[in-house]
Amino acid sequence: MLKVENISVHYGMIEAVKNVSFEVKAGEIVSLIGANGAGKTTILRTISGLVRPSQGRIQFEGKPIEKLVPQKIVASGLAQVPEGRHVFSGLSVMENLEMGAYLVKDKKKISETLEMIFDRFPILAERKNQDASTLSGGEQQMLAMGRALMSQPKLLLLDEPSMGLAPIFIQEIFNIIQEIKKQGTTVLLIEQNAKIALSIADRGYVLETGNVVLKGSGKELLASDEVQKAYLGG
CATH of the domain at 63: 3.40.50.300
Query: Is position 135 within any domain?
Result: no
| Mean pLDDT, range 26-35, rounded to an integer | 94
Query: Is position 142 within any domain?
Result: no
Query: Is position 11 within any domain?
Result: yes
| Mean pLDDT, range 56-64, rounded to an integer | 97
Mean pLDDT of the residues in the chain: 92
- Say if residues 177 and 196 touch (Cβ distance below 8 Å): no
At residue 113, the pLDDT reads: 92
| Mean pLDDT, range 74-92, rounded to an integer | 91
Query: Is position 131 within any domain?
Result: no
| Mean pLDDT, range 193-206, rounded to an integer | 94
The most confident of the ranges 82-86, 105-109, 200-204 is 200-204
Contacts of 208 (CB under 8 A, 6+ apart): 34, 35, 38
Residue 47 identity: I
Q: Angle, to 10 degrees, between the axis of helix 137-149 and the axis of helix 93-100?
A: 30
What's the number of domains the chain is made of?
1
0.85 surpassed by pTM: yes
At residue 234, the pLDDT reads: 53
Query: Is position 198 within any domain?
Result: yes
Buried b (16+ CB within 10 A) or exposed e, 16-51: bbbebebebeeebbbbbbbeeebbbbbbbbbbbbeb
| Mean pLDDT, range 59-71, rounded to an integer | 96
Collapsing DSSP to helix, strand or coil, 157 comes out as strand
